[in-house]
Amino acid sequence: MEQLPPPSPQASPFFDVRMRGFRDRVHVETVIGMVDDHSPPLPAETVPLTEAFGRVLASPLCAEVAVPGFNRAAMDGYAVRAEETFGATAYNPLSLTVVGQVLPGQPFAGVVESGQAVRIMTGAPMPDGADAVVPAEYAQEVGSIVRITEAVPPARHVSRVGEDIAPGRQLFAAGRVLRPQDLGLLASVGIGTVPVVRRPTVAVMVTGDELLPPGSKPSGYQIVDSNSPMLAALVQRDGGQVRLLPIVPDQPEALRQAMQTASAEADVLLISGGSSVGREDHAPRLLAEMGRLLVHGVALRPASPTGLGQLGAALVFLLPGNPVSCLCAYDLFAGRAIRRLAGLCGDWPYLRLPARLSSKISSALGRTDYVRLRWVGPATTAEAVGAVEPLAISGASILSTTTIADGFTLVDAACEGYPVGATIEVYLYDRVFANPPRSPQ
């Protein structure tokens, strides 16, 4: 047996650095905990209602006015003095003199006296003197007389002041993700602008001498950057504001400059590529020198060369250059931070469904696996909505596995995988369908 000399960092910096780098990979859950520690909701900003859909309220909102702000008719009909209608029926109609009419926004100038009625339309202010509305179905108007064929008690078919909203009532708590109808409600109480959590600015930077910008044709040994369009869409989905930066060459000084500039102008900096431990992987070392490198190397396949750190006030994610790894690392860590900074829940925006596994999944203990899955048929058990099969779990560069896949599952570090027939949880990539698939393709 030949005795090999110990590896010498001097002799072979190319790979020795690499072999050292990920001796201690950090567990996914630990990284998620660190992400959460560094992603409190950003401070508030004020936006008009027209830009507030889906935004997160930064402070509670109360109504300053009552809704309705005046007693108004809840039906089309006749405003009357209720007590006068007692005993009115189809067999014994009550005749009242119609002295006017009220439309929404056009109140009746006078007072409804005994023996009188006023035509009224839904939403119109109740005239003084009247305290109930007889619906049009129970009234027949001929000439200036209306015949009432049903009695109404006081307040019947009248929406009273403050019935919907009393003044001073809290409408929404801080943290509310504003729905379309919320904006309507806010408008109705005279609120035109709302304090919402500021959306994080997210700078997206890719590094690599081999990269051409999106929109280029791949040529020679150069490939087109696929990560920045993907990351830009993910950031958009998660409520961040994207700032796409030019491609940075594999030169430490260029990267240092770009990192410095980007981190000064962004809440989050995503650096894709150069995140591993090879000779051209400058980002981790630079981040450690310039700021703090909190994590480098995660027990996660296929995204182990992932890093997390801080540079100035910016949270920095080092994402692998391989597209599938980049997607995986973004989704597990960066997306969570962006959603939380935006005031949203950190949880995935993916629908989770139970599915039956049609081929086994093997996974190494101590490492979380991100496994792409595809629907392959109907479920054979009641608790699953369909059957899925795993797509190749190797091939971090094979982005098409994530476009062919319907979703993914995570295999926990403490789990060696799942046998055929197991019920697992699938996170679906698509958000656009209304309901779980009934008959998966």
Cβ(115)–Cβ(97) under 8 Å? yes
- Name which of 43 and 180 has its Cβ closer to its own copies: 180
Stretch that binds its own copies, among 80-88, 163-171, 257-265, 413-421 (CB under 8 A): 163-171
- Residues 107, 97 contacting (CB under 8 angstroms): no
Interface residues for its own copies in 354-383 (CB under 8 A)? Answer: none
Task: In angstroms, give the least distance from the CB of 292 to its own copies.
Answer: 26
* Interactions with its own copies, residue window 378-407 (CB under 8 A): 395, 397-400, 402-403
Q: Would you count residue 177 as binding its own copies (CB under 8 A)?
A: yes
One of 322, 363, 368, 409 touching its own copies (CB under 8 A): 322
Q: CA–CA separation, 287 vs 144, rounded Å?
A: 86
Closest CA to 355 of 404, 388, 322: 388
Q: How many CB atoms lie within 10 A of CB 8?
A: 9
349 binds its own copies (CB under 8 A): yes
The conformation of residue 290, written as its DSSP 8-state character, comes to: H
* Distances from the Cα of 198 to the Cα of 34, 51, 427, angstroms: 21, 12, 28
Alpha-carbon gap, residue 218 to 224, rounded angstroms: 6
- 207 neighbors 281 (Cβ within 8 angstroms): no
**Interface with its own copies (CB under 8 A), residue from 80, 99, 211, 245:** 211
How far from the centroid of its chain's Cα atoms is residue 329's Cα?
A: 18
- Interaction between residue 202 and its own copies (CB under 8 A): no
- Sole binder of its own copies in the list 41, 195, 214, 377 (CB under 8 A): 214
Q: Name the one range near its own copies by CB under 8 A: 36-44, 122-130, 260-268, 284-292.
A: 122-130
75-114: contacts with its own copies (CB under 8 A): 76-77, 91-93, 101, 103-107
Q: 158: Cβ–Cβ under 8 A, 6 or more apart, which residues?
A: 71, 72, 73, 74, 126, 131, 132, 133
Q: Which of 83, 253, 265, 430 binds its own copies (CB under 8 A)?
A: 430
Is residue 225 close enough to count as binding its own copies by CB under 8 A?
Answer: yes
Q: Rounded to the nearest whole angstrom, what is the least distance from the CB of residue 291 to its own copies in the complex? A: 26
Which range binds its own copies by CB under 8 A, 109-117, 177-185, 253-261, 356-364?
A: 177-185
CA distance 211 to 237: 25
Cα 160 from Cα 197, distance rounded (Å): 35
Residues contacting its own copies: total by CB under 8 A: 127
46 binds its own copies (CB under 8 A): no
Does 334 sit near its own copies (CB under 8 A)?
A: no
Nearer to its own copies, 270 or 294 (CB): 270
Alpha-carbon distance of 186 to 309, in angstroms, equals 40
Instruction: Out of 217, 438, 439, 441, point to the residue binding its own copies (CB under 8 A).
Output: 217
Least separation in angstroms between CB 45 and its own copies: 17
Q: Which of residues 252-271 bind its own copies (CB under 8 A)?
A: none
How far apart (Å, rounded) are the C-alpha atoms in residues 127 and 232? 58
Among 165, 255, 258, 266, binds its own copies (CB under 8 A): 165
Q: Can you tell me which of 62, 111, 173, 187 binds its own copies, judged by CB under 8 A?
A: 187
Q: Return phi, psi of residue 183, to 5°.
A: -65, -40
Range in contact with its own copies (rule: CB under 8 A) among 29-37, 277-285, 290-298, 361-369: 277-285
Structure tokens at 430: 């698509």
Judged by CB under 8 A, which of 136, 155, 290, 415 binds its own copies?
Answer: 136
Residue 127, interface with its own copies (CB under 8 A)?
A: no
Q: Of these, 37, 43, 143, 441, which contacts its own copies (CB under 8 A)?
A: 143
* Residue 214 DSSP one-character state: T
User: Which amino acid is residue 237, in one-letter code?
Assistant: R
Q: What are phi and psi of 144, to 5 degrees?
A: -100, 15
**Nearest residue to 204 via CA among 268, 156, 121:** 268
CB of 263 to its own copies, least distance (A): 23
> In terms of C-beta density within 10 A (0-12 exposed, 13-18 middle, 19 or more buried), how is residue 50 classed?
exposed
Q: Which of 87, 170, 432, 438 binds its own copies (CB under 8 A)?
A: 432
